[in-house]
Amino acid sequence: MFFKIKGKIIYREPLKIGVEVNLGEDSITYEIFVPLKIYEKYKEGDKIELFIFNYFKEDEFSLFGFEKKEERDLFEKIISVPGIGPKTGLQILSNYDVDEISEIVENEDVKKLSKIKSVGKVRASRIIFELKEKIAPIKRFESDIEREALKVLINLGLKRTEAEKIIGEALKNKKFEKLEDLLMEIFKRM
């Protein structure tokens, strides 16, 4: 079983790359299925490090690679849904990141999830239903000021989870009456 593979990309095509791993003078190349964003981000010759999901079936053994462990873990949860295979799981993670999928599940946004090729409304409903118990809910903030600060940080390019963490740290032992005061505290910490 592989947990992580680190090496050089020697070929790439949409949803699949070849990663050469050096073993002294010899090397081995692994074919790894990856989300489309990895194909778009990396070129042949680039070094890459991927968290691996090992997929075993009666007549098949495949490797699926992800840049973050959270993506790998979410992929595993998605394909644990009856009727959802690894290719569909890869399509989902090619279209949405971990935060977006958490939001889709929490908001039960069947329409958004069903936009993915090979998912459809029935499968999207099933995925959302099954993942409801497996994905932690998105942290909600109590006041309008806190929610506005979250929007500001996301608009500045932070991922939702990063923004929530920073706001949570700024809110420890303090309450803010104005958005500007909260943002000043957040920017001090950044």
On whether both 58 and 94 belong to a single domain, the answer is no
Q: What is the CATH number of the domain that holds 42?
A: 2.40.50.140
pLDDT at residue 44 in the model: 95
Please count the structural domains in the chain: 3
In percent, how much of the chain has pLDDT > 90?
53
On whether both 77 and 30 belong to a single domain, the answer is no
Structural domain boundaries, residue 22? 4-66
On whether both 151 and 173 belong to a single domain, the answer is yes
pLDDT exceeds cutoff 60 at 139: no
pLDDT exceeds cutoff 60 at 165: yes
Q: pLDDT tens for residues 65-108?
A: 999 999 999 999 999 999 899 999 999 999 998 888 988 898 88
On whether both 80 and 126 belong to a single domain, the answer is yes
Beta-carbon contacts of 83 under 8 Å, excluding residues fewer than 6 positions away, are 123, 126
What pTM value is reported for the model? 0.72
On whether both 62 and 77 belong to a single domain, the answer is no
On whether both 73 and 124 belong to a single domain, the answer is yes
Specify the amino acid at residue 25: E
pLDDT at residue 99 in the model: 81
Q: Answer whether residue 52 is part of any domain.
A: yes
On whether both 58 and 87 belong to a single domain, the answer is no
The DSSP string of 83-116 is T--HHHHHHHHHH--HHHHHHHHHHT-HHHHTTS
pLDDT at residue 149 in the model: 84
Q: Answer whether residue 137 is part of any domain.
A: no
Q: Answer whether residue 139 is part of any domain.
A: no
Beta-carbon contacts of 162 under 8 Å, excluding residues fewer than 6 positions away, are 153
Stronger pLDDT, 75 or 58, i.e. the higher one:
75
Q: Answer whether residue 138 is part of any domain.
A: no
Q: Answer whether residue 38 is part of any domain.
A: yes
Instruction: Write out the two tokens for 130.
Output: 């099954």
Q: What is the CATH number of the domain that holds 83?
A: 1.10.150.20
On whether both 8 and 49 belong to a single domain, the answer is yes
